[in-house]
Structures are given as structure tokens and as C-alpha cells.
Structure 1
Amino acid sequence: MIELVNIKKGFGDKVILPEVSALMETGKVNLIIGASGSGKTVMMKCMVGLMEVDSGKVLYEGKDFTGMEEKNRKEIRREIGMLFQGSALFDSMTVEQNVMFPLNMFGSGSLRDKKKRVMECLERVQLKDAAKKFPAEISGGMKKRVGIARAIVLNPKYLFCDEPNSGLDPQTSLLIDKLIKDITKEFNITTVINTHDMNTVMESGDHIVYMYQGRKQWEGSNKDIIFSKDEKLNDFIFASDFLREAKEIRQMEMFQQKDWRDKLKKD
């Protein structure tokens, strides 16, 4: 798991994150959501060390990442997979070569072993037949899947995704969501996603941190959202009349389930 303990980050006189604490759980899709400027991107960058916190700690399995020497940080970074917003594929490399890139940088073993691992990952994202193609020859959704294959090729413990559905149509977005969720469960990865996509929130949000003006406003699961009374969260998630009506219908459906009635009584 990844734990944030009172992390604070600012630029000059402007404080972006005023002592935020949160827990990213293993084997779950952990979402960081919030409006633009809420601090979620800065929060993710602090978690992977792209930005240094001003105070507080980021713990990986209880180990203080913020206080580590660089050589020890590199060991943890080898266990991190990254899926970038724009896929960030190398145009001059084939799909196979793009996925092999982390293996060439950090892995060991023969070229044969590396190619075997690459094909395993491409098969997992259903792109084995596209191995020899270049990024310009495949669709946006396929590029995202190549990005996922590259992110998991080193068998990471942690997977960070920055707006994985950006620029995709709704149907392709659902496929990417399902793929990330399946991989998270299959390999017991701690997955952290920074997203604006409400389909991702409602379909994949095992654990959600809602940021508002740099602070953790709300924390819970996608099922908890349906019955949340937090006004700021509800205004953000259910912004339109259509979504508010859909929420009411979903509440009625879920309330008919006995386990949810019992949960509400306890709360």
C-alpha cells in the first residue's frame, strides 16, 4: 500500500496541499478526483517523487520514500508502472519496441526472454497482432493499451495512471477502465488513477479520494458515493439534472438490497 501522512506542498506563498493524509490500498483501483486546480495532479507527482513535499511523508509498504537516498528510491521506482495521459509512445519505435523499452532500461536477461515478456503483455491487452506496427498506424485506444502493456512489463507493484481515458470515446473508455481494473485484481497491484471521468469513478472506484481546494474533502468507494451527503462531492459528481435523477434511481435500487439497508442503519 501507499500512505500519505500529512504531506504539504506549495509554490512560493501559494499552498497547494495543506497537510493531506490518505491511503492507497493494495489490489484496488484508487482514484484521485477533483476539479481543475484541486491539487490532485500535484498529489500524484509527490507520490512518485516528481515533486518533493515540503513536509510530511509518503510511505511505500511502510518505508519512508520521502526520506530515502536516491539509490533506494530507484529500487522503488523499478516497482512503479506509469500510464501517461498522452500514452507517450516513441513514434520511431514499433509497438513491440515501445513495450520493450523499460526492459532494456531496467531489466535483465536475454533478448529472447525480453521478447517473450513483451508478447505476454501485448497478449494480455489483446494487441499481439499489432507488435510490428508503429504508433501512427494504430488508434488512440490501442495506444492506451500499448501504454498499459509497457507499464506492466516489469511486473510492477504500483501502477499510476494520469487521465487514462483522455481523448477516448465512451465505449473505448469503458474497455480501458475494465482492463486496468482486471490487471489490478489479477496481479494484486496498488493502482492510483488521476481522473475527471465519471464513468471511471462509478465503474472502477474501489477507493476514491475527492480533493477540494487542496484538501481531502471526502473518501470512500463508488458505492458510498450514491448515499453520500457531502454537498461539494455531490455537486461535483452529479452536476446535471440527468445525473441527479440517475443517482436517485440508483439509490432506490440499492436500498432494496438488505445489506445496504443494514449499512445505513449502522452509519
Structure 2
Amino acid sequence: MIELQNIKKGFGDKEILKGVSAVMESGKVNLIIGASGSGKTVMMKCIVGLIKVDSGAIRYDNQDFTAMDDREKKEIRQQIGMLFQGSALFDSMTVEQNVMFPLEMFGTGTLKEKKKRVEECLERVQLKDAAKKFPAEISGGMKKRVGIARAIVLNPRYLFCDEPNSGLDPQTSLLIDQLIKELTVEYNITTVINTHDMNTVMESGDHIVYMYQGQKQWEGSNKDIVFSKDQKLNDFIFASEFLREAKEMRQLDMFKDKNWRDQLGKPGNQ
């Protein structure tokens, strides 16, 4: 897991993160959501070490990442997979070569072993037949899947995704969400996703952190969010009349589930 302990970050006289604490759990899809300017992007950059926090601690499985030297941080970073918003593939490389890139940089083993690992990852994202194609020859959804294959090729313990559904049609977005969810559970990865996609929130959000003006405003699951009384959260998630009606329908469906009703009635779930 990844634990944030009262992290703060500012630029000049502007305070961006105002003492955020949260736990990103392993084997679950952890979402960071919030409006533009809420601090979610800065928070993700702090977690992976692209930005240094002003105070507080970030712990990877109880190891204080913020207190590590460069060598120790490199060891943690080798356990991290990244899926970038625009896929960030190398145009001059084939799909196979793009997925091979992290293995060439950090991997060990023979060329034959590396190629076998690349083939396994491409097969897992159903792109084995596209191995020799260049990024310009495949669709946006396929590029995202190549990005996922590259992100998991080193068997990461942590996976970070920045707007994984950006620029994709709704059907392809669902497929990407499902794939990330399956890989998270299959490999027991701590997955952290920065997203605006409400379908991702409602379908994949095992654990959600809602950021508002640099602070953690709300924390819970996609089931909790349906019954949340936090007005700022509801205004953000269920902004349109259509989404408000969808929320009411989801509430009715969930109330039919006795196990969920019993859970909702427990202390602390009011």
C-alpha cells in the first residue's frame, strides 16, 4: 500500500496541498478525483516523487519515500508502472519495441527472455498481432493498451494512471477500465488513477479520494458515494439531472441487496 501522512506542498505563496492524509490500498483501484485546481495532479506527482513535498511523509509499504536518498528512491521507482494520459509511445518504435523499452533500461535476463515477457504482456492486453506495427498504424484505444502493456512489463507493485480514458469513446473507455481493474486484482497491484471520468468512478472506484481546494474533502468507495451526504462531492459527481436520476436508480438497486442494507446500517456508515 501507499500511505500519505499530512503532506503539504506550495509554490511561492500559493498553498496547493494543505495537509492531505490517505491510504492507497493494494489489490484495489484507488482514484483521485476533483475539479481542475483541486490539487489532485500535484498530489500524484508528489506520490511518485516528481515533486518534493514541503512537509509530511509518503510511505511505500511502510518505507518512508520522502526520507530516502536517490539510490533508495530508484529502487522504489523500478517497482512503479506509469500509464500516461497521451500514452507517450515512441513514434519511431514498433509496438513490441515500445513495450521492450523498460526492460532495456532496467530489466535483467537475456534478449530471448525479454522478448518472451513482451509477448506475454501484449497477449494479456490482446495486442499480440499488433507487435510489429507502429503507433501511427493503430487506434487510440490500442495505444492505451500498448501503454498498459509497457507499464506492467516489469511486474510493478504500483501502477499510476493519468486520465487513462482521455480522448477515448465510451465503449473503449469501458474496456480500458475493465483491463486495469483485472490487472490490479490479478497481480495485487496498488493502482492509483487520476481521473475526471465518472464512469470510472462509479464502476471501478474501489477506493476514492475526492480533493477540494487542496484538501481531502471525502474518502470512500463507489458504493459509499451513492449514499454520501457531502454536498460538495454530490455537486461534483452528480452535476447534471441525468446523473442525479442515475444516482437514485443506483440507490434503489442497492437497497434491494440485503447484505448492503446491513452494511449501511452499521455504525460509521451513516
TM-score, structure 2 as length reference: 0.98
Corresponding residue of 1:87: 87
Q: Percent identity?
A: 82
Rounded to whole Å, the distance in 1 between the matches of 2:264 and 2:113 is 53
Segments of 5+ residues of structure 2 without an aligned counterpart are none
SS in 1 for 2:66: coil
Corresponding residue of 2:33: 33
Rounded to whole Å, the distance in 1 between the matches of 2:250 and 2:235 is 17
Corresponding residue of 2:182: 182
* 1:186-226 Cα distance to aligned partner (Å, 9 max, x none): 00000000000000000100000000011000000000011
Q: How many residues align?
A: 267
Map residues 240-259 of structure 1 onto 2, 5 A cutoff: 240-259=240-259
Corresponding residue of 1:232: 232
Rounded to whole Å, the distance in 2 between the matches of 1:27 and 1:86 is 25
Counterpart residue type for residue 236 of structure 1:
F
Rounded to whole Å, the distance in 1 between the matches of 2:86 and 2:173 is 14
Corresponding residue of 2:99: 99
Counterpart residue type for residue 4 of structure 1:
L
1:168 aligns with 2:168: yes
Segments of 5+ residues of structure 1 without an aligned counterpart are none
1:9 aligns with 2:5: no
* 1:92-121 Cα distance to aligned partner (Å, 9 max, x none): 000000000000000011111100000000
Once the two structures are TM-superposed, the CA of residue 45 in structure 1 deviates from its matched residue by: 0.2
Which stretch shifts more, 254-263 or 130-139?
Answer: 254-263
CA RMSD in angstroms, aligned pairs only: 0.6
Once the two structures are TM-superposed, the CA of residue 63 in structure 1 deviates from its matched residue by: 0.4
Once the two structures are TM-superposed, the CA of residue 264 in structure 1 deviates from its matched residue by: 2.8
Rounded to whole Å, the distance in 2 between the matches of 1:182 and 1:151 is 14
Corresponding residue of 1:134: 134
Once the two structures are TM-superposed, the CA of residue 258 in structure 1 deviates from its matched residue by: 1.2
Corresponding residue of 1:49: 49
Counterpart residue type for residue 35 of structure 1:
A
Rounded to whole Å, the distance in 2 between the matches of 1:253 and 1:101 is 46
Rounded to whole Å, the distance in 2 between the matches of 1:114 and 1:251 is 48
Counterpart residue type for residue 103 of structure 1:
L
Corresponding residue of 1:72: 72
Once the two structures are TM-superposed, the CA of residue 144 in structure 1 deviates from its matched residue by: 0.1
Rounded to whole Å, the distance in 2 between the matches of 1:55 and 1:194 is 22
Rounded to whole Å, the distance in 2 between the matches of 1:71 and 1:36 is 34
Rounded to whole Å, the distance in 2 between the matches of 1:90 and 1:61 is 32
Once the two structures are TM-superposed, the CA of residue 257 in structure 1 deviates from its matched residue by: 1.5
Once the two structures are TM-superposed, the CA of residue 259 in structure 1 deviates from its matched residue by: 1.8
SS in 1 for 2:17: strand
Counterpart residue type for residue 175 of structure 1:
L
Once the two structures are TM-superposed, the CA of residue 250 in structure 1 deviates from its matched residue by: 1.1
Rounded to whole Å, the distance in 1 between the matches of 2:187 and 2:264 is 33
Rounded to whole Å, the distance in 2 between the matches of 1:261 and 1:119 is 45
Corresponding residue of 2:262: 262
Once the two structures are TM-superposed, the CA of residue 249 in structure 1 deviates from its matched residue by: 1.3
Corresponding residue of 1:21: 21
SS in 1 for 2:68: coil
Once the two structures are TM-superposed, the CA of residue 260 in structure 1 deviates from its matched residue by: 2.3
Rounded to whole Å, the distance in 2 between the matches of 1:263 and 1:178 is 26
SS in 2 for 1:66: helix
Corresponding residue of 2:217: 217
SS in 1 for 2:210: strand
Rounded to whole Å, the distance in 2 between the matches of 1:195 and 1:106 is 28
Rounded to whole Å, the distance in 2 between the matches of 1:256 and 1:118 is 45
